[in-house]
Structures are given as C-alpha cells and as structure tokens.
Amino acid sequence: MSLSKCLEILLKYSSSFLLGVRTTLIVSITGTIIGFLIGLCVGGFRAVRPDKTADNTVRFIKHISDILAKIYIEVFRGTPMMVQAVFIYYLIYTNVFKWDKMFAAIFIISINTGAYMSEIVRSGIQAVDAGQTEAARSLGLSSSQTMRFIVLPQAIRNAFPAIGNELIVNIKDSSVLMIISITELMFQSNSIAGTTYRFSETYFVTAMIYLLLTSITSLVLHLIEKRLNNTRTSFPQSDTNFYSMSIASKGEDR
C-alpha cells in the first residue's frame, strides 16, 4: 500500500467521498434523533407503572403494551441491521409502495436505534431517585408533569453518554446500508475501489474518514456532556423540591 496513492485517490475522488460523507451524516444523525424520540416514548412508557387506583382495563392495556414493546426491542436488538435493511426495504418496496432509498435508510436506522434507545431511556428513568417522584406528587404535580419536568430531564442527562455512543455507532453501522444501494460512504468506496482496483488504498482512506467523523462527533458530545455536568453542579439535587414547587404553582395558576 502506498500513501502517495492514498492521497491521489482522496484528491481525485474527493467529490465522491464528500457525497458519501454527506449521506452518511444525514442518515446517521436523522436516524439517531428519530430513534431517540422512539426510545423516549417506548422507554418512558415501559418505566411508568399504573397507579394503585388504576382499574383492571388500564392494567391490562399496560401489560399488553409492555409485551409488544419487549418483542420490538428483542427483535431489533437481536438481529443484524443488514438483515433488517434487506427485509424491510424489499418487503415494503415490493408489497406496499416504491419508497425512496434515503427515506428507507433513515427509517431502518431509526427503528433499530429506537430499540436500543428505549432501554437506555428506561434505565435512565429508573436511576432517578424515587423520592423525587414522591416529593413532586405530594406537591400536587400530576404523573405527566412529574415525568416531564422532574424525571425525564435527569434521566436524559444521566443517559447522555450512552445516547451519544449510539450516534457514533450509527455513523459506522450506516455502512451496512450499502446493501440497499444507498450512496453512503461505504457504497462510494466500493465504487471507487472497483474503478481503480486499488482496494487497500481506497479502504484505508475510507477508514481514516470514518475515524475523523467519529473523533469529531466524540469531541462535540464530550463538550455537550461537560456542559450538562456544569449545569448539574449549578443546580444541585437539593433544589429539586424548589423546582417542583415552582412547577406546581404554575399549574395552580392555570
């Protein structure tokens, strides 16, 4: 392998590499955000337990929903994304409608990420001290207000490293989506390698690009996490009751 050839390939096919990077970032970032929203809904719903006063119908619906959520999580965490991509893309493309490959890629990344995010969010919620929930409820906050203003902000902050890690994983794992011919970085690399017959040099350049993308992402996530930790220091845990009282008073004003 020649470093001069690597540089030559990088310069000659820079537009193709940039197109692949652009597609990779769009798919991975969008898919991670949507997956986080899915995980927030599924994980939050799984973490909530019915009140003691809830009737049997509510408990039955919650039980069925938990079973469906567990099936969703186990299926998408227990099967390779490449298999999911092929199955979902061609199943819908053949039997429902001919959908755009970019939309399909984002959809696949989103539902796969959502399965992981739901467990991350659920564990983050369960890590919040139960006494804070009880204090918020005793101050007059409803279950939804307690979850929204007290539990979720702390749960997301606690789980942020794992959430950020999912973004880094998606940047790399998006390479399997070349199986449905989306023009992400790995797809472009295969095309360049097939044209130049310089496989070692082309894939070395690709590896360096992936390393650069993940390194920059890690740095940005580290800065965000550091800022969140500084915010936590500025608003210590003892201020939670004061915050709960503020929210409760706003609810009473309405």
Domains of the chain from N-terminus onward = 3-253 (1.10.3720.10)
Tell me what the mean pLDDT of segment 59-80 comes to: 92
> Does the pLDDT value for residue 49 go beyond 50?
yes
Stated pTM of the model? 0.85
| Residues listed for the chain | 254
Q: Whole-angstrom Cα distance, residue 83 to residue 90?
A: 11
Q: What crossing angle do the helices spanning 152-173 and 199-234 adopt, rounded to 10°?
A: 170
Share of the chain above pLDDT 90, in %: 56
* pLDDT-derived band at 1, boundaries 50, 70, 90: confident
